[in-house]
Structure 1
């Protein structure tokens, strides 16, 4: 007897669990086949776990019918057919197409109504019933943008106007006075330069409060090298004030960049080394300032020293200043000193324009002036430039997605008691096309052009090397005009390692030697993000269009960019 009772208990437990877990089915019909078909088009949920879920779904269907114009729809019955099937019947009745909404012209602008309605009159506008909810949400959003974040609106006194149309009154409840930002509090990085709030983000006290725009603007903080946003902005509302809280942290923005290159000298067949050091200090004084120092020693006995200082938002104004000093020495042939003073204006976080003066002085070091193409000269230029930068702050390996820098110079050159007009133009642009999470293509265009009646060797542009066309010695090519394209196909093995191809091409002209050449560079490389910084290795072989490949022309470039 005990065994039989135990067996019955097991059978009851198994079958009852299946019974309790079975799904309930819902079928909703209309008064006619057309009504049933229309209800089915709503794609309502037909399987449910209990009767409460069925009731909620019927209510949801009725609300959706209200929104598309069946405001008089009526639930007639809900019947249990068997243990797993329930049927309901809804009478849709008449469909209304349009609602005439009467409004107060003093509380809502006609320009706002033009966004949501095509038929607007002095005291009312027309809306299709299936668009009413979205239209009201848009109106409320736009009113909030105007400094009224607590505004409320609703349709009141809804009536049947005629056989197919309704009428209603739009009621808007909002504060009498618009809210403005009373104070801005910075948490986490209290010494953040406030000039960047006023001119970079364009957020300042007394500004009309709009939380959507504020969030959009503060996201641009992640594009700054020296600060990150660690939390979304918050707002404290009181009766008479609105305080905005920004949560920031100071980021590592200093960098040290260097590379070592070596190759075989074609004349001596000896291994030669070259390299450079590049130091970048940013925001160490909590002013947003930037100081760059570059020293380069090339294998062709060329030395370069360059110092750049950027001071943004001087005296809390939107204007900043850029100072630059560059000294170049070519063995014992000549030295060239460039000095630049530019004023810049930050249009928005991505766009910046420059205007200023550029001065150049070059001296012939040859004791016997056996080269008429090297001569003492000095130039005075007016310079104008434009810069666009689109960062990719969440990408550690490639933090800048695209960049464009365009500069033009106009002025005169004085040399040996002669004077002539000159102009220069240069462009440096690159973009990374992300095909997917692991694959991307990098394209870079770099070009410069000097327009003059006569040319001197010590004023020509110099290019070649790891930051130019790879596979050639650093600054070994002199040109009055050049244009080059760098391409890389990049494959990211993980978040800290990538490999890439190298396919470079260049065209240049030298008006002094009356030469025109096409150059090519091919190779491969990889990058590794270490605790010390980004380590890069490039192997490239360079040639001109009429030259065969030689392994002895290959160049290996190694560089390390360390952030601190």
Structure 2
């Protein structure tokens, strides 16, 4: 017995030793592919792993089978570390276009081609066509469809399958049941999620529920939806959780004193953004800005989506701008957005703008203007969160055309064509675990026979061109860009370096064309009150040198709730 155990141990050790791959040994494969007409293609392979040689042969056979060479086989000879393999492809089978019988269908027998896009038989194509067939029925009201292979059909060098399909009953949406502490109207949600009562069941729409809820910006799923099927009806339980979507933002800007003053100037800006106050995914925003001693801006907007449970909504906006004692502008906009995905929309817009000159001193650069215009506008974004997104793309665009009535100081009136366009794009993307980049592009254009100072666009400051006073540049057309490099040290907390530049033009009393730029550093810190931001910026305009005494400091607080 003792000798037997010793012999067994030695045998196992010997087997273990001889089964180890030699570190420098190489295995060779000479592969010959022989086609149906006898043509030969040869390939050479080398590997330090014998199992890889075997895998190469099996892969070649499987590839031929999937291309319709169903009878492909190999003849393999091994000697030491050298393998010779001949693979005979055989004949290639064509895909036979055959019928599919639908059981219990009101039209008796319907015919579907499983191979309408395939000239030759392919096993993977067969599975793909079968899956597509099942998905088609699942998304048109038949969630209980079953597909079984009835027979295999060979005809010379063709192969086909005959499937029997039992569609099951036609299922229609009945209602949804909402669970959670979020108040939102079920009629709106049924339309928004594309689950209106009485329409055919769609598996695709059920699977899309979590994604579409997240796209609202204020809702998300707390768990996957579940379904109850009754007689020809489907009821859906949806579990909701509120996301922080309301936002308050306050910004203060500190401007260094001019040469003849020792006092600092302070600018201010407040934004309030509220979502779902009427439980219909509605949005309300209020924006106020003080950009110099006597200049102020007030902006209010209300949007009500899915009006009467249709994808179209209502968009109302009011804007008031007062430029010290020079002029005052009012703007009223009415839009009809069509929602195609989440909060994203495209729509039609009408606006009426009035500008009135306040100064009594006549000037050829200003005039009283009444403007009526109409056009298209577009909004789309897929930001991962409302505050300080780390990834996503956002696009806002508007094109307007119309007529403006001009009344000059001397009482002369005239009518002219008017055209404007605006574009804003921002893109956030991560470059490492705690690092990211934000890029932004803005563009604006006003076009017409006569353009006056009091109808120009205004840029400069925290949101358009950092390193300069708020709304300090009046422009007829411009393009600006921003690059921001962020280093995160918390969910929202980060420090960043930035560079922004612009090119603008205007021709009122004289032609002005300049390319200002600014750069600086900032930090955003998450606090119990919100995200506190501090930014220091320098800018260069015209031929003026960069000076520290002309720096700009912006302080802001953003709170989502």
Q: 1:393 maps to which residue?
A: 384
Is 1:506 the equivalent of 2:502?
Answer: yes
Residues 113/139 of structure 1: CA separation in 2 closer, same or farther (3 Å cut): farther
Q: 1:337 maps to which residue?
A: 330
Deviations 1:457-509 (A, max 9, x none): 22221111001111110011112222222222333344333332221111222
Is 1:214 the equivalent of 2:234?
Answer: no
Query: Size of the alignment, in residue pairs?
Result: 509
Q: 1:305 maps to which residue?
A: 298
In 1, the alpha carbon distance for the partners of 2:243 and 2:154 equals 62
Residues 312/128 of structure 1: CA separation in 2 closer, same or farther (3 Å cut): closer
Residues 71/541 of structure 1: CA separation in 2 closer, same or farther (3 Å cut): closer
Is 1:158 the equivalent of 2:144?
Answer: no
Of 355-364 and 62-71, more deviation after overlay is shown by 62-71
In 1, the alpha carbon distance for the partners of 2:289 and 2:493 equals 27
Aligned to 1:444, which of 436, 440, 445?
440
Aligned to 1:276, which of 269, 273, 276?
269
Q: 2:165 maps to which residue?
A: 173
- 8 Å CA contact 1:254–1:281 kept in 2: the answer is yes
In 2, the alpha carbon distance for the partners of 1:138 and 1:360 equals 53
Q: 1:409 maps to which residue?
A: 401
> What SS class does the counterpart of residue 172 from structure 2 fall into?
coil
In 2, the alpha carbon distance for the partners of 1:409 and 1:223 equals 32
Q: Which runs of 5+ in 1 are unaligned?
A: 1-8, 26-32, 36-40, 48-61, 75-91, 119-125
> What SS class does the counterpart of residue 252 from structure 1 fall into?
coil
Residues 152-551 of structure 1 aligned to structure 2 (within 5 Å): 152-158=146-152, 161-162=155-156, 165=157, 167=159, 169-188=161-180, 191-194=183-186, 196-216=188-208, 218-267=210-259, 268-349=261-342, 351-366=344-359, 368-375=360-367, 377-393=368-384, 397-398=388-389, 400-415=392-407, 416-437=411-432, 438-518=434-514, 519-551=516-548
> What SS class does the counterpart of residue 182 from structure 1 fall into?
strand
Q: CA deviation at 1:363?
A: 2.7
Of 99-108 and 499-508, more deviation after overlay is shown by 99-108
In 2, the alpha carbon distance for the partners of 1:141 and 1:209 equals 12
> What SS class does the counterpart of residue 144 from structure 2 fall into?
coil
In 2, the alpha carbon distance for the partners of 1:546 and 1:161 equals 84
In 2, the alpha carbon distance for the partners of 1:314 and 1:137 equals 37
Residues 98/472 of structure 1: CA separation in 2 closer, same or farther (3 Å cut): same
Q: Which runs of 5+ in 2 are unaligned?
A: 21-31, 35-44, 52-60, 74-87, 102-107
In 2, the alpha carbon distance for the partners of 1:153 and 1:103 equals 13
Q: 1:4 maps to which residue?
A: none
> What SS class does the counterpart of residue 284 from structure 1 fall into?
coil
Q: CA deviation at 1:156?
A: 3.0
Q: With structure 1 as the length reference, what TM-score do the two structures score?
A: 0.77
Q: CA deviation at 1:191?
A: 3.4
In 2, the alpha carbon distance for the partners of 1:328 and 1:129 equals 68
Q: CA deviation at 1:396?
A: 5.9
Q: CA deviation at 1:180?
A: 2.4
Q: With structure 2 as the length reference, what TM-score do the two structures score?
A: 0.77
In 1, the alpha carbon distance for the partners of 2:109 and 2:428 equals 47
In 2, the alpha carbon distance for the partners of 1:128 and 1:442 equals 46
- 8 Å CA contact 1:397–1:496 kept in 2: the answer is yes
Q: CA RMSD in A?
A: 4.2
Residues 548/141 of structure 1: CA separation in 2 closer, same or farther (3 Å cut): same
Residues 148/308 of structure 1: CA separation in 2 closer, same or farther (3 Å cut): same
Deviations 1:67-94 (A, max 9, x none): 89898999xxxxxxxxxxxxxxxxx999
- 8 Å CA contact 2:354–2:371 kept in 1: the answer is no
Q: CA deviation at 1:107?
A: 5.7
